[in-house]
Amino acid sequence: MAPARRVLRALAAATAAVALAGLTASGAAAAPSPGATSLPGSVPSWAGSKHKTGTPLGTDTVEGEIYFSLRDPAGAEATAAAVSTPGNPQHGHYLSPQQWIHAYAPTADSVGKTVDWLRSMGISIVSVPASRLFVVFRGTADQVAAAFGTSLADYAFQGQTLVGPTSAPQVPADIAPGVQAVDLGQGRLTTRPRTESPDAAAGAATATAAPPVTVPCSDYWAQRTAALPPAYGSANFPTRLCGYTPSQIQGAYGVARPGAIDATAGAGQTVAIVDAYASPTIVRDTNAWSEASGLPSLRQGQYRQIAPSPSEFADQALCGQPSGWQGEQTLDIQAVHGIAPAANILYAGGYNCGGGLDIALSTILDGRLADIVSNSYGDVGEALPPSVIQGQVNLHLQAAAEGIGLYFASGDRGDESALLGSPAPDFPASSPWVTSVGGTSLAVGQGGNYLFETAWGSTRQRVVADASGQLAYAGPLPGAFYAGAGGGTSASFAEPAYQTRLVPSSQAQGHRVSPDIASLADPYTGYRIGLSPISDDSTLATAAFAFQTVAGTSLACPLAAAQMAIAQASAHRSVGFANPALYTAAGSGGAQRDVTAPSFPLALASSTASTGSTYLVTLGRDTSLAAGPGYDDVTGLGSMTVAFARQAAQLR
């Protein structure tokens, strides 16, 4: 795989070099222009006095990003909608990257002036994509504060200390007309992968004692049961799943008959995956996992990678370390390969979890290197500055116009009230120009047959031994919320036309609601992956290869994306931005599975080795979000199936 990786890395570098060369033809540093324009829409909501904790050192390096305005925002939206909407005369007539850049990208002159100004202030340019939608830069806190006419402070946000501006940043008056937003806050660096494990518990200490009762996992639904204290009219409960295999997932979603594997699924399609950093063992791990899972290994050239070298990794502590992203990358790739074994996979890794992710996505869009992009990461709620959000939406508009479908995980913390104080969907999944993927709990039978799904939302109550040695619950059932699919009504986006017919007006209230579709996400009914986990983030040394059970909407997103890849291969066409087609198909009796609340409580028994605890896990309870007939804010239109994806792909 090394030659392909070098070629792609060289291509990305060449693209960036061409863009920068075109922007800085003068070769001279420009002097700051007189006067300044303030950008109040660029201040993050968390950068307020009540969250301020101190001041960064003036020599500390900080990252910033300037997003540029499209030349014709209304035209870009109209084009994205027209080429994506069945029945429109322009449906399927996608633009090439060069056509989109020529029609809508910021002008080279506008962006070039900004780049020259930043350099004149001593700030280093990290990247300008060929689309010229943004510039990522880095400088010291003193340099950045001086350039943008503000000061920087440390703020407490989501348990971390982040640097952000104390007032609205300013830019010279002569470049201001072309600037959409300036992002000086480190809020982007809270972006996290969406993996969940049944063997994890937030804040829990290492196990010090054996659980009062040990519960083995099951290879299929209800293979094993465990005797626990009576609850919900029963004293015996199915045990959590050891992790579904590709044949079980293919059978559940209609790729192959139950118990079989279709090794040809997805042929001719390329699914891209965007994450931060890069696993040092991804090809070796995936081939070992494939052999154990009855899948063909990655053939020569099937997997390609555009990723920074380890020496270029940045902001690792804030971003959760390469080890924190390794499981995500592995899950994404093995989810796609498991359900669409013949599809090509392109991995684009960011050098961090902020501007690096924008650079990775732009590299794909500017070269149209894939048909579908799976993104299993996101922010907490919509806490980014509104202008910064719009700057990222411009990337989504480019993808839609080019016929590239963007799929984003909806989140794993329900409505985010616990962190934000009020309900909010997660961005970018809340963007009206991406397909947001929610989550389900999945039951597969002994023969690999689909049994049922329910909305993913897990609450847990611990099983303990009372004074007499008898088993009991540590508190009232169902216990505390553990994890569940994200979703809800956006505060940032108006209701898109494709949702007006199927999303209840009482829920939308004129705004975008997410998710759009759903797939398996519950770690208690999760997916088996294989990897050699990073044991030292400084050297990227790895431990022995092992299997793990993981899930989250990180799993749901690539599963849904891979199903659309199979549908596109069958239809011999790209669906692109899929939401208009998905909602049209659903409104005409689609083959998606409507996921509703269970008619009686569903519960699983699970032992957690890391905490020495056994739990009764109650399914289908997702904070304030709730599943119901038709569209809902946990599973959207319903659970994705290959048949539903094919219906959407066949629409003209």
What residue ranges define each of the domains in the chain, with the CATH number in brackets? 22-70+105-190 (no CATH), 225-650 (3.40.50.200)
Whether cis (ω within 30° of 0) applies to the bond prior to 308 is: no
CA distance 491 to 512: 8
Alpha-carbon dihedral of residues 98, 104, 109, 111, nearest 10 degrees?
-100
Least Cα distance to 411 among 598, 557, 559, 563 occurs for 557
Least Cα distance to 636 among 527, 487, 498, 520 occurs for 487
CA distance 238 to 67: 51
Dig out the tokens for 393 from the structure: 């939406």
pTM (predicted TM-score): 0.93
Contacts of 101 (CB under 8 A, 6+ apart): 130, 131, 132, 366
pLDDT in tens, 519-575: 999 999 999 999 999 999 999 999 999 999 999 999 999 999 999 999 999 999 999
pLDDT in tens, 262-321: 999 999 999 999 999 999 999 999 999 999 999 999 999 999 999 999 999 999 998 999
| Mean pLDDT, each 10-residue run in order, the chain (652 residues) | 37 41 37 70 82 88 95 98 98 98 97 97 97 97 94 86 91 95 84 76 47 90 97 97 98 96 98 98 98 97 96 93 96 98 98 96 98 94 89 97 98 93 95 98 97 96 90 96 96 98 96 98 97 97 97 97 98 97 96 91 89 92 95 98 98 94
